[in-house]
Amino acid sequence: MSTAARVPSVIIRKNQAWLYLDWRGIVDYRDLLFVLVRRDFIARYKQTILGPAWFVLNPLITTLVYSLVFSSVLGVSTAGVPPVLFYLSGLLSWSYFSNLVSTAGTTFISNVNLFGKVYFPRMVVPFALVLSNMISFGIQLLTFLAVLACLVVQGRFQVHAGGLAIALLLTPLYLVHIALLGLGVGLLLSALTAKYRDFQYLVPFVVNLWMYASPVIYPVSHIPKRFAWLVILNPMAPIVENMRSLFLGTPPMDTWLMALSIGESFAVCIVGVLVFQRTARTFIDFI
């Protein structure tokens, strides 16, 4: 029996790994996690001339478009902050969330070939997405800080050095918060898209609509009273608004809304993980 203890022993039966997350397995496959993070990151801008520069250009171009359409043409308020900073800071949290949702939301479909042939803890793939999207978040944060520095030097905007330091210290906490929510939503969607392809087409719309429902291109103060319930329900609203408030000093949302958002994120993440685990067991039978 002592020899048997050396080799990994596996029991295969129905309905396993549904309520419990295979942490041991994920730790065993940590090398895979890092390789996948690398793959996600590197493969995204392969065979492009600008390469990783797209990570910088992407939010800048989006910001430019928003400035043009929403600020210049439509005249949507940016709470007294230069529009570029307003949109960039909103996109900071929002991009991480939306990238995570749309990439994790197709986990099963985009990895059929992998999942159909070899076993590893499936959760490794969405975890890798959490990390690889964090890298793009990091680049985006640096871009934002660079733009901020430019505007401060030009004297068009002012920041407190202390406030900025606190913001940077709190950023990891915000990231964890967004990761919980984005992962949860992404995992739920992945289970749906695996079985019913309709959701695959719906995901981009849902993400888009969700963005307009969140204070990315407008301040929360601009939301009409009758839509206030939407802000309360939307866990992304306080994240976007408060992260911006940290960096730019715009008015934050109430603490209780933030607490509610944290609670919602935890709940969504737990449900997402459970549904994902349940789907992962046999999804290959109906894909």
Partner 1 sequence: MAEPIISIRNVSKRYRLGKLNMTSFRDELQSWFQGRGDAGKPAGPADFLALNDVSFDVEEGQVLGLVGRNGAGKSTLLKILSRITEPSEGEIHLRGRLASLLEVGTGFHPELSGRENIFLNGAVLGMSKAEILRKFDEIVEFSEISRFLDTPVKRYSSGMYVRLAFAIAAHLEPEILIVDEVLAVGDAEFQRKCIDKMESMRRTEGRTILFVSHNAEVVNRLCSHCVLLERGEVRAVGLTQAVMAQYHGSAAAVRGPGHWVSLSGAAHAGTQRATFQKVRYQRIDDIGETVPEDGAIYPMSRVRFEIEIEALEAITAHSLALTIYSREGVKLLNYDTVSKGMLVRLRPGRNSFEIRTDPMPLNPGAYAVGFWLEPHRGAPPADWIESAFQMEVAAPKGENAWNRPFSDGLVFSPFEITTDGETANRLSLA
Interface ranges with partner 1 (CB under 8 A): 3-4, 7-16, 28-29, 31-32, 34-36, 38-39, 42-43, 46-47, 113-120, 195-196, 278, 281-282, 284-286
Nearest-approach distance from CB 184 to partner 1, in angstroms: 17
Nearest-approach distance from CB 62 to partner 1, in angstroms: 24
DSSP 253: P
Residue with tokens 């401060």: 152
CB-CB contact of 76 with 70 (8 Å): yes
Angle at 239 between CA 238 and CA 244, to 5 degrees: 95
Cα distance between residue 220 and residue 91, in whole Å? 15
The residue among 43 and 142 lying less far from partner 1, judged by its C-beta, is: 43
Nearest-approach distance from CB 29 to partner 1, in angstroms: 7
Nearest-approach distance from CB 4 to partner 1, in angstroms: 6
How large is the greatest C-alpha to C-alpha distance in the chain, in angstroms? 76
Nearest-approach distance from CB 188 to partner 1, in angstroms: 12
Cα distance between residue 28 and residue 120, in whole Å? 10
The residue among 27 and 65 lying less far from partner 1, judged by its C-beta, is: 27
| Residue-wise DSSP of 52-80 | THHHHHHHHHHHHHHIIIIIIIS----TT
Nearest-approach distance from CB 25 to partner 1, in angstroms: 10
The residue among 43 and 166 lying less far from partner 1, judged by its C-beta, is: 43
The residue among 12 and 49 lying less far from partner 1, judged by its C-beta, is: 12
Q: How many CB atoms lie within 10 A of CB 223?
A: 15
The residue among 195 and 222 lying less far from partner 1, judged by its C-beta, is: 195
The residue among 84 and 124 lying less far from partner 1, judged by its C-beta, is: 124
CB-CB contact of 271 with 104 (8 Å): no
SS3 264: helix
